Structure 1
Amino acid sequence: MARLLLWGIAEVACWGGEGSAFRARRRGNERGALFNELTIAYLFLGGTGGGTLAVLCSVSLWEAFRPSVRRVHFSRQYGQIAWGACLFILVLAVLCLLFDMGVPGRALGFLLPQTFTVTILGSWALLISLALGAIFWIVSVFDGIAIWRGVAIALEILGIVVGLTVTLYTGALLQQMVSVLAWQTPLVPLLFCLSSLSCGLAVAAGMVGFVPARAHFMQTIEVLLRADWLVIVLELVLLAVYVGWLFSSTATAHFALAITVGYESLLFWGFLVGCGLVVPLFVERSVTYSNHRTQLLFVALCVLAGGLALRLVVVGLFPLDVTQAADAVFRAADSAASAVAPGIAGG
C-alpha cells in the first residue's frame, strides 16, 4: 500500500503542471542513449546517402546507354560534384554510427556477429555503399583512372541494390523495436525508403546547379524532377495512410494525436508536410532552363529539411510508448521512496 501511495505521489509530481511537449521531451531524455541526436542523424544521413547512391547509379546507367556526343565530358564534370556529395553524406552517416556505438570493439563485434540480423545487413550495406561511393568519386576525379564498361555497369547495379537496402534498413531498424506500437507496421520502412529516395533525387538534381555547362543535361534534370515529383506524391499518400493507421486503433491513437495536434504538430505540418512535400510539388513543376539553378537548390533544401523532419517526428514517438512511460513513472516512484525512507526511519 505504501508503495502504491508513493507511486501516486510520484506520478502527480512527474505529470502534474507540465505541458505534454515538456513531458514527452523529458521522458525522451530519460530513455538514455537509445535514440539520441546521433541516432537521428544516422537514420537521416544513412537514408539520404543510400538514396543518393541508388539515384546516381541509375543516372549513370541511363547516361551510359544514352546516345550523346557530349555525354562523357558532362558526366565526368557532374560526377566530380555529385559523387563527392554522395561520399560526404555516407562518411557522415558512418561516423554517426561509430560515435553512437562509442566503443571501437563494440563496432567490430557489431559488424562480425555470431548471428545474422536485419541490423547487420543494413550496416554492411552502408559500408558497401561507402566503398562504392569512394570508388565512383575517385574514378570521376582522376582522369587517368578508368574501369571496364562491364565492371562499371556491375558496380552501378550493385550500388542500386545496396542503396535501396540502406533506405529500407533505416526504417526496419525502428520496426524491430516491438514495444513501440507506432513502428509495428511495414509502412515505416516504406515511408523511410520513399523519403530517402526523394532526398537522393533532390541531392542529385541540386548538384546540377554547381555544374557550369548544363545545356546538354536538361533532359536528365527533367527525368530527375519527374521521378522526385512521383516519389513525393507516393510519400504523401503513404504518410496519410500511416497517420490513418495510427488513428484506427485505440492503442496507437495517442501517437496520431501527438503528430497532428500535439507537440510534434509543428514539425509534422510545417516542416514535413509543408516544406518537405507540398512546396517541392509546386516548385518542381515550374523549373525552366532560365531559373533551374536556383530552383533546384531550393527544392533540394526543402526536401532534405522534410526528410530530417520525418525522422524527428517518427523517432519522437518513442517517448509516448506506454512501456517507456510506465518505466519512467516507476523510476520516479523509487526515487521518491528513497527520499522518504530516511525521514520515516528517523521519525
Structure 2
Amino acid sequence: MFSELVVCYLFLGGAGAGACLVLSVMGILVPRSRFSKGPARSIFVSWEYRKLFGFGFAFALVALVAGGLFLFADLGRADMVLQLFTSPRAVHITIGAYALIFCILGATLQALIWAQMIRRSSVFILRLLCVLTALISLVVIAYTGLLLQSLRSVPLWHNIWLPALFILSSLSCGMGLVMGASLLAGLGSVFGSVLRQIAFFDGLVIALEALSVVTFLLTTLVSASKTAVLSGKELVLGSNSGLFWAGFVLLGLVVPLALDYQLCSRQPIRASLGMTSAACVLAGGFVMRYCLVQAGVHPGI
C-alpha cells in the first residue's frame, strides 16, 4: 500500500514545510529597522540575514522538492501525476499536492528576495509573502497526518492523535533544518539568541510530541478494533520495535530534548550540540514515520 518512497515523501514534505513555517515566522519578526531602502522600490538587508534566510530556504526547498519527486516516483506514471492536479474531487492527496507546489513557490520567492536576487519589492510585500507561505506550510504539515488518518482500511492510522503527532514532528524537524542550516552557514555567533529561542521552542514541541506518542499508543492499545491493537503491539513489540524505541523515542525525542536544554542554558551557542540535535530530530522523524507505516500495513506480530 505504502512504499518506502511514500515514507520519504511524508518525512521530507513535513520537514521542508516545517522549515518554511519557521523561516516565515522569523521573517515576519525581523525588525523594520533591519531593512534599508534602495532606489526604485528596492529593499536591502545585511549579509547576515541574506545568509540566514538564504541557507534556510535552500535546505527547505531541497526537502520539499525531493519529497515531491519521491511522491511522483511512487505514482510511477505521468498520467497518475497529472490526475493529482486534475481530480474533480477535493481529496486529501490532491489538496496536498497543490499545497506542496504553492509551498515550493512561496519558499522560492522568499529565498530570491532575501538573497537580494529580487530587489524590486517592499517590506510589506515580503511580510505578506511570509504570512501566505506560513499558512500554506501549515496545510502541508497537517495534510501528511490527515492523509494517513483518512485511510480507514488501516485501523492503526485511524486515530485522532496521529495528525497531532505528525504536525508536532514536522515542526520539530523544521526547526532542526533551520538550526542545522544556520550553523552550517557559520551564524551561530551572529544569531545565537535566535537559535537559543529555536532550541527552546523545539524542546517544547518535542515534549508535546512525546505526550502525543504516549496518548496515541494508549488509545490504540485499548481500541475496540483488534487489528488496531495488533498494529499497536507490532509497533512497540514487533520486528521494528528496536528501531522505534532506539531510533525514534531515544534518538528522536530524549537525546534532542536534553541537547536543546543545553543549547538554551549555555552561551555562546555550541555548534556541535546544535548540529547533533538537528541530526537526531531529523533521524527520529523519519524513523517514526517508517515504523508507523510498517506497523499499519503489517499488523501481525
TM-score (norm 1): 0.79
Following TM superposition, by how much is the alpha carbon of 1:176 offset from its aligned partner in structure 2, in angstroms? Answer: 1.6
Aligned counterpart, 2:27? 60
Q: Give the fraction of aligned pairs with identical amino acids, expressed as a percent.
A: 27
Following TM superposition, by how much is the alpha carbon of 1:146 offset from its aligned partner in structure 2, in angstroms? Answer: 4.4
Quick one: distance in 1 between partners of 2:122 and 2:146?
Answer: 35
Is residue 301 of structure 1 aligned with residue 279 of structure 2?
Answer: yes
Quick one: distance in 1 between partners of 2:171 and 2:98?
Answer: 19
Quick one: distance in 2 between partners of 1:66 and 1:215?
Answer: 21
Q: Is the 8 A contact 2:54 2:115 kept in 1?
A: yes
Aligned counterpart, 2:69? 95
Q: Is the 8 A contact 1:175 1:189 kept in 2?
A: yes
Unpaired segments ≥5 residues, structure 2: 37-43
Aligned counterpart, 2:145? 171
Per-residue CA deviation, residues 61-102 of structure 1 (Å, 9 max, x unaligned), is 112458799974321121221111111111101111111111
Moved more, 68-77 or 105-114: 68-77
- Report the secondary structure of 1:183's partner residue: coil
Quick one: distance in 1 between partners of 2:125 and 2:202?
Answer: 28
- Report the secondary structure of 2:88's partner residue: coil
Following TM superposition, by how much is the alpha carbon of 1:112 offset from its aligned partner in structure 2, in angstroms? Answer: 1.5
Aligned counterpart, 1:84? 58
Q: Is the 8 A contact 1:181 1:321 kept in 2?
A: no
Moved more, 255-264 or 63-72: 63-72
Q: Is the 8 A contact 2:24 2:133 kept in 1?
A: yes
Aligned counterpart, 1:281? 257
Quick one: distance in 1 between partners of 2:210 and 2:199?
Answer: 16
Higher Cα Rg, which structure: 1
- Report the secondary structure of 2:30's partner residue: helix
Per-residue CA deviation, residues 175-213 of structure 1 (Å, 9 max, x unaligned), is 121111111122111110100000001111111212334
The root-mean-square deviation of aligned C-alpha atoms, in Å, is 2.1
Aligned counterpart, 2:95? 121
Aligned counterpart, 1:184? 158
Aligned counterpart, 2:80? 106
Moved more, 301-310 or 108-117: 108-117
Aligned counterpart, 2:234? 258
Quick one: distance in 2 between partners of 1:213 and 1:116?
Answer: 42
1:280 maps to a residue whose letter is: P
2:246 to 270, 275, 280: 270
- Report the secondary structure of 1:77's partner residue: helix
Moved more, 143-152 or 302-311: 143-152
Aligned counterpart, 2:290? 312
Change (3 A) 1:65 1:145: closer
Quick one: distance in 2 between partners of 1:73 and 1:319?
Answer: 49
Quick one: distance in 2 between partners of 1:303 and 1:196?
Answer: 10
Is residue 247 of structure 1 aligned with residue 252 of structure 2?
Answer: no
Following TM superposition, by how much is the alpha carbon of 1:216 offset from its aligned partner in structure 2, in angstroms? Answer: 3.5
- Report the secondary structure of 1:317's partner residue: helix
- Report the secondary structure of 1:181's partner residue: coil
- The count of residues paired between Structure 1 and Structure 2 equals 290
Following TM superposition, by how much is the alpha carbon of 1:292 offset from its aligned partner in structure 2, in angstroms? Answer: 1.8
TM-score (norm 2): 0.90
